[in-house]
Chains A and B, each alone.
Chain A
Amino acid sequence: MSTAYGLAAVSLVVAATVLVGTFGLRISRTTSDFYVASRTVSPLRNASAIGGEYLSAASFLGVAGLILAYGADMLWLPVGWTGGYLVLLVLISAPLRRSGAYTLPDFAEARLESMAVRRVTSVLVVLIGWLYLMPQLQSAGLVLRTAAGTPFWVGAVLVAVVVTINVLSGGMRSITMVQAFQYWLKLTALAVPVLFLLIAWRQDGSPGLGQDTPPAFAERTTVSVGADVEVRVDRPVPVVVHGRMDGAQHAGPVTLAAGEHRIARDTEITFPAGATVPHVSALPVRTDSEWAQPLAGREYPLYATYSLIMATFLGTMGLPHVLVRFYTNPDGRAARRTTVLVLTLLGAFYLLPALYGALGRIYTPELLMTGRTDAVVLTLPDRLVGGTLGDLLSALLTAGAVAAFLSTSSGLTVSVAGVIGQDILHGGVRSFRAATLLALFVPLGLALAARALAVADVVGLAFALAASTFCPLLVLGIWWRRLTVAGALAGLVVGGGLAGTAVVCTILGGPPGGLAGALLAQPAAWTVPAAFAVMIGVSLLTPRSTPAGVARTMVRLHTPETLQVNRGTWRPKQV
């Protein structure tokens, strides 16, 4: 891709974001008409805003990359990320809105009337937020490297700085219009190029993915390796190498023997047409027909699939930046309508990454060798369309990707900073500033220090952590009146502890092989039931610590607003 177009796209989106952030208030409507002024946010706009904040770099870039590498199993990611809203719709959205809570700690306090639960919830919100922010920043580094060839850290630092400016200037806080626009921008940025790509694919004779061979280079291809990688070659292949390989400097034809090879960064290798693509050692080698089959992706595929389904379906409700948006709905009914629309919008969006993944398998198999499968979305237009049109489409995709991690990072930072400021630093404008820096620069440090993992995998871990803590709290809190303070605390600590340990093991060390590795990489299937069991069990054992106002709270959560019932009212705190 031409660097100029990529840089132009990045700067355009960054400039637009900063401008909207700084002058954001100007575009909010000024009127003298009360009827206009007191119109609440419509469900469609609210749903677009949720989509705008929710569709992160993981959705925009990561899903396609994982589908390219692992195949049909990874389709569960977009399905789960959409399906999570179905669970949210059925079990959570309306009662949560009726509770009047703005953040998750608010809900915990409203339902359980306990400051201890509130504090534990706050800490978990911050941890989940950090875990979710980290891959956003990492993919920023990736996008900028693909688009403009900058070092990895530049993109991450750039996004962190832009988001800080934005959040501190107060503009991006929760302007629904801006967030709603982000959704449509992301959808356009992904949908328009895919049309061109599909046309190009048709003209190419619609090559399929049914062969029983691993992906191979269709023509003579030069691969340049961006970072040190270790690749596995199955059959000896004659190549031309410029750069360091296996510790020796090469500048000419070499025959790659079968086995492991270490390739240093900035090395260029030219493969002949028809050569099988060497895979990074971390990725499995699958034939195309295996790739298209379910349950053939990773080790223990059945367990991993169910665990993934559990994490994504149940984790969505625990994402801090999504839940605050529900407060904008005027009532529970509107919250439900919004959720239905979110389902529709996300369903439409998630059709696209699968197409990119499949096209990437055909046209950019060398990503399996460089290990940078997350870049597939950005690489395809150049490969498949080429020329100025290809550059423009790449620029559009780059812009969409930048918008994706800017909006998600802003939303997350605001939510996390709000919780840090209110519950940990105790209020005030100054503490919000300190909290913003804390909310953003801790994950920035992690992003720069941690080893490179697939974006969608880390986001998956954040979902698993949310599913093992907030899902039991919300579901039991809303639907089970015997939930007690002790039970909630125990469940949060056990679920958070187990899932947190799995997350730390996976990120720091990489999971060990075998069953233990599968259990740690996809912890949800055992941590979520454990958290539920502990929460229910301890609640049953401590019936005395049921909150005093549980009956009143339940009435408030479950009665439609139009019904005239006694929902209780404010009472001065017992001194």
Chain B
Amino acid sequence: MDVALAVVAAVAVTGGLAAVPWWRGRRELGSPADRATFQTLHTASLAAPPLRAGLTEQGAQKAARHLRELLGSAALAITDGERLLAWDGSGDHHAEGALAHAAGPMDSGRTEVLGPDTVACAYLDCPVKHAVVVPLTTDDRVVGTLAAYGDDVSAGLIRAAEEVGHWVDAQLQLAELDRSRTLLMEAEVRALRAQISPHFIYNSLTTIASFVRTDPERARELLLEFADFTRYSFRRHGDFTTLSEELHSIDRYLLLQRARFGDDRLRVTLRIAPEVLPVAVPFLCLQPLVENAVRHGLQDRTGPGQITIIAEDAGADAVISVEDDGIGMDPERLRHILAGEYRGAEPDGEGSPEAAGIGLGNVDGRLRQVYGDEYGLQVETATGAGTKVTLRVPKYRPGVTASGV
């Protein structure tokens, strides 16, 4: 009982505290004219969000109520020239006529005032007798109309309707902008989709060729692996794959690299938690990291290089790291590359550190695009001290699903 009382008291006190600023805010609103302005601005701000998705039925219906309040007209209709998107206010039986009223402004792009001869109906008490129809334009193209209906059309209403029309135009422009921004992001992700390096293809093929006479069986196996590798890497559909698919592809890649450098020069240790194998990851997101590790692990040394790939379960995330014990990278330079500031010449071969950095930058960019900035790559490196690249992938993100091979 006491607990219940305490809870009620706490809720009451919190509610009271929350109400204080609201009450104070109400008292300091200023003159009636000010208040009218605030009211108008507030109504406009309510109408803005639904319109930010463009001229859709749902958005138009939500916005229409507020727009009619702005205009103070008896009814308001929004069309896209082909369909009636929203009708708000009295005189619902006029709704089907709205499209016909919109035809003129759709063609001419100019405001039209329609009289009772085209608008009015048989009901005497129906307030819908006159109409002001304004076109809605984006990029000089008429995309729809906004019609205000009323008993009478004053010059004020015409002016107001035109102004509201312009305001809606601005919102639609913004919507268009949003849309192009989204398209741009999508295009960016597509463009960032990792490409396998032409050098790798060339080197693999020459390696396989060297086995054709000495060890035809092995050459055949390598060729099949190569075929599988390219089929996976060149596939067109889907931006995501599972971690286990990605590991299979890395296996083939390393098999080909081992054939090229000699079996004992590349040692790989894997520690994969089986729980994270089904996690969806961006397509070819590990490949560049492993490529980078191979490059650094083997550069400037004659002994074997060691690569460690670890995938762990971390609650709602999976953490994957690729580590080599090679020459490392200069952190400052790496930072430039990851920040996209590196604009050097075209990387001149598989061995160049720039090529490596670009691979990492690519993965980093895609991870940030999809999962947000807190999911970027984490690189621990210093010259001569090896490199460890860690990436975190959330187990679930809306829209992210792995597509099959």
Is there contact, CB below 8 Å, between B315 and A418?
Answer: yes
Residues of B within 8 A of A206 (CB): none
Is there contact, CB below 8 Å, between B277 and A40?
Answer: yes
Is there contact, CB below 8 Å, between B268 and A28?
Answer: no
Complexed CA–CA distance, A103 and B277 (Å): 17
Is there contact, CB below 8 Å, between B269 and A30?
Answer: yes
Q: Does A29 contact B (CB under 8 A)?
A: yes
State which of A102, A417, A570 has its C-beta within 8 Å of the C-beta of B370.
A570
Residues B292-315 near A (CB distance < 8 A):
312-315
Is there contact, CB below 8 Å, between A100 and B396?
Answer: yes
B394 CB to nearest chain A CB (Å): 8
Residues of B within 8 A of A382 (CB): none
CB-CB under 8 A for A575 and B178, given A38-B244, A100-B280: yes
Is there contact, CB below 8 Å, between B272 and A571?
Answer: no
A499 CB to nearest chain B CB (Å): 18
CB-CB under 8 A for A173 and B398, given A38-B248, A329-B278: no
Q: Does A228 contact B (CB under 8 A)?
A: no
CB-CB under 8 A for A41 and B274, given A103-B316, A569-B240, A574-B182: yes
A572 CB to nearest chain B CB (Å): 4
State which of A32, A175, A330, A414 has its C-beta within 8 Å of the C-beta of B267.
A32
Is there contact, CB below 8 Å, between A40 and B270?
Answer: no
Is there contact, CB below 8 Å, between B313 and A110?
Answer: no
CB-CB under 8 A for A544 and B58, given A32-B268, A34-B247, A432-B315: yes
Residues A553-569 near B (CB distance < 8 A):
556, 561-562, 564, 567-569
Complexed CA–CA distance, A248 and B372 (Å): 71
Report how many A-B pairs have Cβ atoms within 8 Å: 124
Residues of B within 8 A of A260 (CB): none
Complexed CA–CA distance, A113 and B399 (Å): 10
Q: Which A residue's beta carbon lies closest to that of B308?
A: A30
State which of A39, A109, A329, A331 has its C-beta within 8 Å of the C-beta of B398.
A109
Is there contact, CB below 8 Å, between A102 and B316?
Answer: yes
State which of B3, B181, B272, B401 has its C-beta within 8 Å of the C-beta of A567.
B401
Is there contact, CB below 8 Å, between A570 and B277?
Answer: no
Is there contact, CB below 8 Å, between B400 and A570?
Answer: yes
CB-CB under 8 A for A110 and B396, given A34-B247, A176-B274, A572-B182: yes
Is there contact, CB below 8 Å, between A39 and B274?
Answer: yes
Is there contact, CB below 8 Å, between B250 and A422?
Answer: no
Residues of B within 8 A of A570 (CB): 189, 239-240, 370, 397, 399-400
Complexed CA–CA distance, A379 and B247 (Å): 52
**Dominant SS among interface residues on chain B:** mixed
**Dominant SS among interface residues on chain A:** loop
State which of A37, A101, A330 has its C-beta within 8 Å of the C-beta of B272.
A37
Q: Does B331 contact A (CB under 8 A)?
A: no
Is there contact, CB below 8 Å, between A29 and B400?
Answer: no
Is there contact, CB below 8 Å, between B185 and A572?
Answer: yes
Complexed CA–CA distance, A543 and B402 (Å): 31
Q: Does A222 contact B (CB under 8 A)?
A: no
Is there contact, CB below 8 Å, between B370 and A173?
Answer: no
Complexed CA–CA distance, A342 and B399 (Å): 30
Q: Does B332 contact A (CB under 8 A)?
A: no
Interface string of A67-110 (1 = CB under 8 A from B): 00000000000000000000000000000000011110010011
Q: Does A3 contact B (CB under 8 A)?
A: no
CB-CB under 8 A for A28 and B273, given A34-B250, A101-B396, A574-B182: yes
Residues B150-208 near A (CB distance < 8 A):
178, 181-182, 185-186, 189
B103 CB to nearest chain A CB (Å): 28
Is there contact, CB below 8 Å, between A330 and B277?
Answer: yes
Complexed CA–CA distance, A40 and B267 (Å): 23
Complexed CA–CA distance, A516 and B242 (Å): 52
Q: Does B251 contact A (CB under 8 A)?
A: yes
State which of B53, B271, B273 has its C-beta within 8 Å of the C-beta of A574.
B53
Q: Does B275 contact A (CB under 8 A)?
A: yes
Which of A32, A34, A39, A422 counts the most chain B CB atoms within 10 A?
A34
Is there contact, CB below 8 Å, between B270 and A32?
Answer: yes
B388 CB to nearest chain A CB (Å): 16
30 contacts between A and B (CB under 8 A): A28-B271, A28-B273, A32-B270, A35-B251, A38-B244, A38-B247, A38-B272, A39-B274, A40-B277, A40-B278, A100-B396, A102-B396, A103-B316, A103-B396, A173-B315, A176-B275, A327-B278, A330-B242, A330-B244, A421-B315, A427-B374, A432-B315, A544-B58, A561-B404, A562-B404, A569-B401, A570-B240, A570-B370, A574-B178, A575-B181
Known: A41-B274, A41-B275, A100-B401. 4 other contacts (CB 8 A): A35-B251, A422-B316, A570-B239, A570-B400
5 smallest beta-carbon distances between A and B, as pairs: A34-B251, A572-B185, A37-B270, A102-B395, A570-B399
